[in-house]
Amino acid sequence: MPIRLDKLVAERFGLSRRAAQEAVRNGRVDVAGDRGDEPGREVEPETPIAYFPNRPKARAVAGKLRVLHEDRHLLIVDKPAGLLTLPTLDHERDTLVERARRYLAIRHGGRRPFVGVVHRLDKGTSGALALARSPGAVRAFQALFKAHDIERQYLAVVEGAPGRAEGTIDLPLVTDRGDLRRGVARGPGEGRHAVTHYRVVERFGPVATLVACWLETGRTHQLRIHLAEIGHPVVGDPVYRPRARPRSKATFHRQALHARTLGFRHPLIDQDVRVEAPLPGDLDELIVDLRNRFGIPGAGG
């Protein structure tokens, strides 16, 4: 009896149904030697299928905006990996800000609604990101971020196995470590104060570890730099992973970093706001793959 392709993929490779659907849509599943892209396709149970979790996406980032919170001052959205927050000098048309403008125009009217950037996520990072709906809201929320009076939790898959189940990385950062890239200050009194707290969530043998991180400060690339500095770079990070580091068995088509939680006391309506961005399918696939290949039952922090 025929079976849906996504169900067969989930059963064969130990994925959740959602992760299996995204794997198929993103072109990471071959059916009888040909790439499949329809999760609902009916196939025979004995059909040969192959799963390539680290194969780059076959399609562009989906254009729909996922809204996690909305009020008259603020929009919190779930940014997909691969999407810029703002355009660069290349003047990209499809950015998170442009998607937010389209969403607000359709929902509330107006030709070009105001959308202000409060903070940013790297192009390769997914997760919760706040956008202001007025200049006054930009100032209010930037002050909130500057005062660090906000909860920002990330999930990251890092290379190797941290020796401690939890810890704090307190290392100042500089904008140029000597090769035009950001990094950790080496001289006394140099750099800007930067603190990251982390906790091990799940270990995948000696190969990789899932960690939760909390930002006490929010410097550019802080998490990626701090984790690389303690010997556990984010899997898939093309910038801060030391070039001399031996090749890892854990690979990913982007940096395995997700902004999961954003929480604060709303400065303009005096209410508590806390949102969680669900783990994206590609990162879920990576974790399942590492768990199946290297995980040890019961091996958490």
Q: What is the pLDDT of residues 258-289, one digit of tens each?
A: 999 999 999 999 999 999 999 999 999 999 99
Q: What is the DSSP letter of 247?
A: P
Nearest Cα residue to 170 out of 180, 185, 151, 156: 185
> Which pTM was predicted?
0.77
Query: Around Cβ 56, how many Cβ atoms within 10 Å?
Result: 12
Nearest Cα residue to 277 out of 85, 41, 13, 77: 77
Residue 27 has pLDDT above 90, yes or no: no
Topology annotation, domain 3-51: 3.10.290
pLDDT tens per residue across span 170-218:
999 999 988 888 999 988 888 899 999 999 999 999 999 999 999 999 8
- Domain residues of the chain, as ranges? 3-51, 67-294
Q: How far is CA 103 from CA 48, 59, 69, 145, 275, in A?
A: 42, 22, 13, 25, 19
Active site residue 122: yes
At residue 3, φ and ψ (nearest 5 deg) are -135, 150
Residue 229 has pLDDT above 80, yes or no: yes
pLDDT value for 33 = 80
The average confidence (pLDDT) of the chain is: 90
pLDDT value for 266 = 96
- The length of the chain in residues reads 301
83: tokens are 């999407």
Query: Around Cβ 175, how many Cβ atoms within 10 Å?
Result: 12
Provide, rounded to the nearest whole percent, the portion of the chain with pLDDT above 70: 96
pLDDT tens per residue across span 234-254:
999 989 999 889 999 999 999
Residue that wins the pLDDT comparison between 53 and 212: 212
Three-class SS state of 126 = strand
Q: Which of 78, 122, 284, 289 is catalytic?
A: 122
Place 81 in a pLDDT band, splitting at 50, 70 and 90.
Answer: very high
Q: Got the DSSP string for 138-201?
A: HHHHHHHHHTT-SEEEEEEEEES--SSSEEEEE--EES-SSSSS-EE--STT-SB--EEEEEEE
Query: Rg of the chain over CA atoms, in angstroms?
Result: 21
pLDDT value for 109 = 76
Q: Which CATH number fits domain 67-294: 3.30.9.10, 3.40.50.1000, 3.30.1540.20, 3.30.2350.10?
A: 3.30.2350.10
